[in-house]
Structure 1
């Protein structure tokens, strides 16, 4: 990788969509790396394995049901790249994909990924190794690798795909991230994220009442957010563990009211003489 971008090999054919590309890098080892990092820092990974093919398909829906123009996509928490590879495959010339991954081991895997390197021509792919809250567009001081370009400086994003494990975070952090997503999305832009099923009970049984209460507070916050901005959801049973993907849309400003039609003031009547 050079200048903060993953470059396509000019002699490589465009990749074909397949479950193998989704589930793991052709070079192999994604599951082992993910498990290793999950055991080391489960708070930041939130799972023991990458997302399965059906969940990936649900998360990339906004990038496939798209306007007929170039779009800008932000992926947050890319992990080993199962969603990143699918996005790179479905994006078109002129599209931009900005990937944010805080884990340097995962970021190194993304840099070396042959599917990402073999993406279609004209698809820009940029990698920032930081937390999404640290992006300059979020008011922080981090920079994108290589050129020092400001992530998001080209404008807001049409699509955001979030892989962050929200229920591992404190409610205030989740609220701040969701509000940041709304600021980063263009009006009418779409956001997808997912959560695993049955985690509230598991968290309470395994971590105690305090963590259970924190978990429930995050879930309530997410449900309020979905009630306000949600377009729909999809339950994916064929995932480990089963998950639910959520699709949301940022608000579109109401059109300004039309200026009132000027009315002609009648001329005053001539006085009687």
Structure 2
């Protein structure tokens, strides 16, 4: 496995910073997700088999920081879909799928979609990793997207997403964030099985894991619910 060179990492960080300056509300962060956050978001992804391949969806992959960690967790028969609304990020990902050895290895079973997730016809997935900045989205859109993602999970499937620490302070500056976070908490409450805090990320973040229960007769291969204590997404 190759490690990104300093120039490549710097170029990726600069690309992210530029898009944040242009589209702050939908980009959500000044920098890509760090390694610790990427590991936390992908920790529940398990490789499938020839008998039962797994399907994984990443929403809002940005420049692919989490995608590279996710790729290491896929089995040889598993598939990946990426949905990204930012055009320059889509171009960056398309290039990475050709030239980054970590992503090129799974390019033949990866589909990259350019557009908003709410405009996509999604399939059925075993795992969904979401990098959307829910606090920056209108409440109705938050509720619709969370519902869309949960309904796209197979029984026993998991949805993992993150929110930044310090969100309550942001609500004082932007009351709209308070409404969006309230809607988010209500939408995920029945499904949260664990949350964790990643202090080493810049900025620090909470990671939340949601589970769609498996049927009693379903051999879904789901892992047991996490015993971590849920934390508030706000």
**Which residue number in structure 2 is paired with residue 11 of structure 1?**
none
Residue 221 of structure 1: which of 171, 175, 183 is its match?
A: 183
Residue 129 of structure 1: which of 114, 128, 135 is its match?
A: 114
Distance (Å, rounded) in 2 between the aligned partners of 1:115 and 1:43: 31
**Which residue number in structure 1 is paired with residue 71 of structure 2?**
88
Contact 1:38 1:48 in 2 (8 A): yes
Residue 169 of structure 2: which of 201, 215, 221 is its match?
A: 201
Distance (Å, rounded) in 2 between the aligned partners of 1:226 and 1:26: 37
Runs of 4+ in structure 1 over 4 Å off: 24-28
Residue 179 of structure 1: which of 139, 147, 163 is its match?
A: 147
Distance (Å, rounded) in 2 between the aligned partners of 1:191 and 1:103: 22
Instruction: Give the superposition deviation at 1:244.
Output: 0.2
**Which residue number in structure 1 is paired with residue 31 of structure 2?**
49
User: Structure 1 length normalisation: TM-score?
Assistant: 0.72
Secondary structure at the aligned position of 2:14 is classed as helix
Contact 1:92 1:120 in 2 (8 A): no
Secondary structure at the aligned position of 1:51 is classed as coil
Secondary structure at the aligned position of 1:63 is classed as coil
Q: 1:43 to 1:117 in 2, by over 3 A?
A: same
Paired residues in the alignment total: 212
Residue 60 of structure 1: which of 26, 42, 51 is its match?
A: 42
**Which residue number in structure 2 is paired with residue 39 of structure 1?**
21
Structure 1 unaligned regions, length at least 5: 1-14, 138-151, 206-210, 256-273
Distance (Å, rounded) in 2 between the aligned partners of 1:228 and 1:61: 21
User: Structure 2 length normalisation: TM-score?
Assistant: 0.83
**Which residue number in structure 2 is paired with residue 6 of structure 1?**
none
**Which residue number in structure 2 is paired with residue 160 of structure 1?**
128
Secondary structure at the aligned position of 1:223 is classed as helix
Contact 1:75 1:161 in 2 (8 A): yes
Distance (Å, rounded) in 1 between the aligned partners of 2:181 and 2:170: 14
Residue 118 of structure 1: which of 92, 104, 110 is its match?
A: 104
Q: Which has the larger radius of gyration?
A: 1
Q: 1:253 to 1:217 in 2, by over 3 A?
A: farther
Secondary structure at the aligned position of 2:189 is classed as helix
Q: Deviations over 1:175-197 (max 9, x none)?
A: 00011011211111100000001
